[in-house]
Amino acid sequence: MPKTVQIRNIDDAVYAALQRHAAFVEMSVPEFLRREATRIAGRMTMEEWLDRISRNRPSGGTNADTIAALDEIRGPWPDADR
């Protein structure tokens, strides 16, 4: 069931900026805010993101190993002879 959210005490300058942003994408302010709220709600929280990257961290290897592997894939640097 859809919910209604009301935001009170928005500064005039903030509302004017919201109107400009909404007009740029040819939306009303409520439509624009609905889209932005949906986008924000779909993002991971910082805690979720940190948990995800900690689980996906490759085991072993160092930054030097990564750089060496990238250098091997890319080939020699164009200015390596200088």
User: Could you give the CA distance from residue 53 to residue 57 in angstroms, rounded to a whole number?
Assistant: 6
Q: Which of 5, 2, 21 is nearest to 13 (CA)?
A: 21
Q: What does the pLDDT read at residue 49?
A: 85
Q: Comparing 44-48, 55-59, 67-71, which segment has the lowest mean pLDDT? A: 55-59
| Whether the predicted model's global pTM rises above the 0.75 cut | no
Say yes or no to pLDDT of 23 above 80: yes
**In which band, very low, low, confident or very high, does the pLDDT at 58 lie, cut at 50, 70 and 90?**
low
